[in-house]
Chain A
Amino acid sequence: MRLIAIGLVAGFFSALFGVGGGIVVVPLLILLVGFAERPAMATSLASIGLIAAVGTISYALRGDVHYGYALLLGLPAALGAIGGTALQQRTAGPMLSYGFAVLLAAVGIWLLV
């Protein structure tokens, strides 16, 4: 039940503000479901795949996707993700929470101004 609520909320806000679902999924998995940081962040990443795939298809049908730029950003980003997950695996849980809190605070301030 909680998982369904988290999914709905994540999709809802990502459609409204274009923020990734991950910014919603990670804290809710930690605070509501009691996940530790690493599984919460790993599971969030996996769940975003479906959102991104469905979103890409619906935008692509309308001709809004710029494939060249998606590749220019996405391919180096895949390498970055491998490095990022390796770093996460070596970082203590509370440090990940603090880092994520800083990221969230930055997003909150960015949305306010």
Chain B
Amino acid sequence: MEIVAVLVIGLFAGALGGLFGVGGGLIFVPTLVLLVGLGQVDAEATSLLAIIPVVVAGTWRQHLYGNVRWRTAAIIGLTAVAGIELGVLTANALPEATLRRLFALLVLLVAAQLAWRAYRAGAASPE
């Protein structure tokens, strides 16, 4: 049963990842922790590997659709690897709960900004 649940959640996470251009880790990590019972670090490690098939299949389709800007993707991908190092250093130096709240507020603000922008664009040029 657990295996069937993991397969179905995988399918759903991949669909969400493909639809919105995120890897699916948002769903993978809690699934591995809560359903499978892995520790947080092992879940994040395993999630990273599970993201790769999503990226390969999704990017292949998106390339055929002509949506991928390869140069932009390469620059962001390379600098993100450096950003991970900065993140690890910071995680060890600052209280995590405070950072988490700040990031959550930032995420909520960006969500509102994104919805507002889409609404304004729709109001300016009704389809």
Contacts and interface: CB of A to CB of B under 8 A. Distances in A.
Interface of A: 3-4, 6-23, 25-27, 29-31, 33, 35, 38-56, 59-60, 62, 64-67, 69-89, 91-94, 96-105, 107-109, 111-112
Contacts of B84: 11-12, 14-15, 51, 54-55
Interface in B91-127: 91, 96, 99-101, 103-105, 107-108, 110-115, 117-119, 121-122, 127
A56 B55 CA distance: 13
B103 A16 contact: yes
Secondary structure call for the B interface: helix
B78 A81 contact: no
Contacts of B41: 59, 64
Given A42-B65, A83-B18, A96-B20, A7 B48 contact: no
A50 to B, nearest CB: 3
A38 B66 CA distance: 10
Contact of B10 (A29, A41, A80, A92): A80
A7 B50 contact: no
A16 B92 CA distance: 9
Interface of B: 3, 6-26, 28-29, 31-32, 36, 38, 40-42, 44-59, 61-63, 65, 67-70, 72-88, 90-91, 96, 99-101, 103-105, 107-108, 110-115, 117-119, 121-122, 127
A104 B11 contact: no
A101 B19 contact: no
A107 to B, nearest CB: 6
Contact of B61 (A72, A86, A93, A98): A86
Secondary structure call for the A interface: helix
Nearest to B61: A85
Given A44-B22, A105-B111, 10 more contacts: A4-B79, A14-B84, A23-B107, A25-B21, A31-B110, A45-B18, A49-B77, A52-B49, A74-B53, A108-B104
A81 B18 contact: yes
Contact of B14 (A35, A60, A79): A79
Contacts of A51: 48, 77, 80-81, 84
A94 B25 CA distance: 24
